[in-house]
Chains A and B, each alone.
Chain A
């Protein structure tokens, strides 16, 4: 039954460009996948390691900026992807060493500050990042000779990366490493007493999370062929965090559902009114106050409660 549902979902996802009808929706589907990869990465830290980050848009942005710079220097796809991811991981190692000086609130505040440093560089260090004007690239690259120019082709390429990401998450959750990460979240002291190196486990979880954030950042650049400082703004980190929280933390499907929800609402809402940030904030407040466990479990609880009281 489970495998049947999985196969069905796979077929439906693969066939998206064939049944959604217009290019607009294919592009939205690509955006959802990119956002979902990013949210899955953040969920490793927020959900499984219990470390709330508000600086991951910085890592996402570093990957996107690095990819844009490397590409404009005339390198091919392999160099772009490898270089961007390597740089992201290096930055993430520095981020992790600093942020892991604190846990809980200290961690949050340090990641906010680190994210703002990246924003400051993106915005002010004009000789490298071109400041507010951002960097454009000339067309999407063609990995293995396959053109990604058409929306459908790009969607399928993103889908492949997305499926790898989901598979890596499933493996991570089931692995001993995944169990030890959850252990550091729930009982850091006991884990320490049992002989686990809590700091190193968190550090590796941070890098794993940064890896997928970087991948999402590179895909984002390929999709938009443009990157500007608003990608690394605090709002972007918050939006990604909202996806994870909205869907339900520490679940495999939660961040994906959350990413779909946020991207769809964002596109629908911004088509009608300009006040996306207000909506984003309001959704945050409502979810946190009324459904702290995430939309999917929260809706179930609320419907049960309404049924019982009526």
Chain B
């Protein structure tokens, strides 16, 4: 098996996971202007919750959806009880979400201890699938497919439904949206829960590849930040393209410059910041 081929597959898989993670981050940031620094924690918490559900005999996909729902419920509570009290206070939101991420990380350490937990690949997706003369690891292929399906689903939700139209209106001009009778504050809760669910779900399906360990949250959060800065906040297409760019950079960077993988990862972000601060697909700030 060719090394480059394996790297490319791994990159696509990581890109898919990052898309699930960053799409929620980007939506929350675009609509609510909240830099949700707990997003990496949602990812990790989802994965940890799923390991407990799996240990109780649940099927992998049930566990993934349920863990996502638990994380979404937590996200809803956080949004309703805390973030709701801090509208427009960016500094306060940064600090609260950061504080919550520390609390979640420490609570996970308490409950699931510091040892990494392996998540078994769901039975039907073990092994490899041959397409022509190429053999793909089936599970990694499945992640890529899931990401594409979710991308299409989110696009349809935002572009084709009434709810999506209301969200887009909220992103563009919250005051005007409110005046026309859209309950923007309820949209906030919906979008926050949706973002949290996506992050938790991504954590679970990433489990068989990344496994779950303390510090996973702090590893994923900067990646999501890079994706959003690269792609532009609030843009679904930006998240998708940014995720795959980061996925490729991360894997190829690690293979080619193992000591500088992190720097390689951030370089394009810096270039984008200098040349096009609003991100590749973002709109310039007013």
Specify which of B94, B99, B229 is in contact with A285 (CB 8 Å cutoff): B99
Task: Tell me which residues from 95 to 115 in chain B have a Cβ below 8 Å from any Cβ of chain A.
Answer: 95-96, 98-107, 110
Contact across chains for B222 and A116 when beta carbons are under 8 A apart: yes
What CA separation (Å) do A110 and B101 show in the bound complex?
19
Where chain A touches its partner, the secondary structure class is helix
What CA separation (Å) do A121 and B265 show in the bound complex?
12
The smallest C-beta distance from A121 to any residue of chain B, in angstroms, reads 7
Contact across chains for B273 and A101 when beta carbons are under 8 A apart: yes
Q: Is B242 an interface residue (CB 8 A)?
A: no
What CA separation (Å) do A241 and B103 show in the bound complex?
17
Q: Is B261 an interface residue (CB 8 A)?
A: yes
Contact across chains for A125 and B86 when beta carbons are under 8 A apart: no
Tell which of A26-34, A73-81, A214-222, A230-238 binds the partner: A230-238
Task: Tell me which residues from 54 to 108 in chain A have a Cβ below 8 Å from any Cβ of chain B.
Answer: 54, 98, 101-102, 104-106, 108
Q: Which residues of A contact B102 (CB under 8 A)?
A: 235, 238, 277-278, 280-281, 284
What CA separation (Å) do A296 and B43 show in the bound complex?
36
Q: Is B168 an interface residue (CB 8 A)?
A: no
Q: Which residue from chain B places its CB closest to the CB of A286 in the assembled complex?
A: B99
Contact across chains for A289 and B263 when beta carbons are under 8 A apart: no
Task: Tell me which residues from 148 to 190 in chain B have a Cβ below 8 Å from any Cβ of chain A.
Answer: none
Q: Which residue from chain A places its CB closest to the CB of B229 in the assembled complex?
A: A109
Q: Which residues of A contact B82 (CB under 8 A)?
A: 285, 289
Q: Is A171 an interface residue (CB 8 A)?
A: no
Q: Is B5 an interface residue (CB 8 A)?
A: no
Contact across chains for A109 and B35 when beta carbons are under 8 A apart: yes
A200-241: CB near B (< 8 Å → 1, else 0) gives 000000000000000000000000000000000111001001
Contact across chains for A121 and B99 when beta carbons are under 8 A apart: no
Contact across chains for A110 and B263 when beta carbons are under 8 A apart: no
Q: Total contacts A to B, CB within 8 angstroms?
A: 122
Would A284 and B99 be within 8 Å (CB), given that A125-B260, A126-B259, A233-B218 are in contact?
yes
Task: Tell me which residues from 109 to 127 in chain A have a Cβ below 8 Å from any Cβ of chain B.
Answer: 109-110, 112-114, 116-117, 119-121, 123-127
Contact across chains for A284 and B98 when beta carbons are under 8 A apart: yes
What CA separation (Å) do A285 and B263 show in the bound complex?
32
Q: Is B226 an interface residue (CB 8 A)?
A: yes
What CA separation (Å) do A102 and B99 show in the bound complex?
23
Q: Is B87 an interface residue (CB 8 A)?
A: no
Contact across chains for A113 and B105 when beta carbons are under 8 A apart: no
Contact across chains for A113 and B259 when beta carbons are under 8 A apart: no
Contact across chains for B229 and A110 when beta carbons are under 8 A apart: yes
Q: Which residues of B contact A117 (CB under 8 A)?
A: 262-263, 266
Q: Is A292 an interface residue (CB 8 A)?
A: yes
Q: Which residues of A contact B262 (CB under 8 A)?
A: 116-117, 119-121, 123-124
Contact across chains for A98 and B273 when beta carbons are under 8 A apart: yes
Q: Is B269 an interface residue (CB 8 A)?
A: yes
Contact across chains for A105 and B35 when beta carbons are under 8 A apart: yes
Q: Is B225 an interface residue (CB 8 A)?
A: yes
Q: Which residue from chain B places its CB closest to the CB of A284 in the assembled complex?
A: B99
What CA separation (Å) do A110 and B272 show in the bound complex?
12
Q: Is B89 an interface residue (CB 8 A)?
A: yes
Residues of B within 8 A of A (CB): 29, 33, 35, 37, 82, 85-86, 89-92, 94-96, 98-107, 110, 218, 222, 225-226, 228-229, 258-263, 265-266, 269-270, 273-274, 277
Pairs across A and B, CB under 8 Å, 20 listed:
A112-B225, A113-B222, A113-B266, A114-B266, A116-B262, A117-B262, A117-B263, A120-B263, A121-B260, A121-B262, A235-B102, A238-B98, A242-B95, A245-B91, A275-B106, A278-B106, A278-B110, A282-B103, A284-B99, A289-B92
Of all A-B residue pairs in the complex, the 9 with the closest CB atoms, nearest first, are: A120-B262, A284-B99, A281-B102, A281-B103, A278-B106, A281-B99, A116-B222, A277-B106, A285-B99
Residues of A within 8 A of B (CB): 52, 54, 98, 101-102, 104-106, 108-110, 112-114, 116-117, 119-121, 123-127, 233-235, 238, 241-242, 245, 275, 277-278, 280-285, 287-289, 292
